[in-house]
Every structure is written in C-alpha cells, then in structure tokens.
Amino acid sequence: MKQMNEDNKGIITVRFTGVICAIACFIAILKLPIEYYTFLRTIVSLGAALLIYSWIKQKKYSLAIIFVLVLILFNPLFPIYLHRKSIWIPLDIITGLLFLIIAFYKKSEPEKKEEKAAEILPVQKTYPRDRIVSAKRNTIITS
C-alpha cells in the first residue's frame, strides 16, 4: 500500500509539472515582455530538473537525456539567446508538446498472466502393513 501511494504521488507530480510547463511554453508564443521569458526559463528549468531527477531515480536514462537538453536550452543562469522570436516559437511549441506528452502518457504495464493453481492430487502412500503376501504365489499385492 505504501508503494502504491508513492507511485501515485510521483504520477501526480509529473502530471502537474508537465501541464504547468506546457502552458507556460504555449503562452510564450505570444508577444510578451522580457520578464515573462525569464519566468519561463525558470519554470521550465525547474520542471525539467524535477523530471530528470525522477527519471534518473527510476533508471529511465533516455528520457532524462532529452530533458537535460531542455534544461540546457531554458536555463536561467547561463541563458542561450537566439535573438529571433521565429526561432523560439517552434522550440516553445516542441517543448510544450514534450511536457504534455510526458504529463499524459500512460505507461502500459505488461499483462500479468493468471497463474492457474495446479490441482494437487493426494498421493496414496503404501505402508508395509498394507501389503498382502500370498503364500501360494510369492507375489506381493498392494491395495
């Protein structure tokens, strides 16, 4: 039960983070003041860092690598300036879609095969007292 609660918290955290970051990326398509883009860098970087931590903990390194690239692109400490809005718009859309896919991707669990309980038949044991020895034939008959 404890493990299930931790899994549910992880799923809720990933979904919440993905949705918030995706919305922020989609809003960034609009013409907004520079302060919003600084806010966007901060939100997306924190979201990417949280997801990277979560996936490294789960040993899903391929997803972690993708979001390391997002973290590098959107980091607020050493910002990458592309100077053209026409370059950032596709990057914002792709990043927003990436966060949405991660937020709502349902992990398919392998189907568990139902184990059929093998019918255990009682084993009849023979005991020395159950043996009948026929004096005429010298054969042993078991019951």
Count helices and strands (H / E) in the chain: 4, 2
pLDDT tens digits, 100-130: 998 887 665 555 555 555 667 777 776 666 6
Residue in the structure block whose two tokens are 């991660």: 102
CA neighbor of 95 nearest in space, from 39, 45, 54: 45
Please indicate, yes or no, whether the overall pTM of this predicted structure exceeds 0.85.
no
Over residues 60-105, the pLDDT tens digits come to: 888 889 999 999 999 989 888 888 888 899 999 999 999 999 888 7
What are the residues whose beta carbons fall under 8 Å from the beta carbon of 104, sequence distance 6 or more? 15, 18
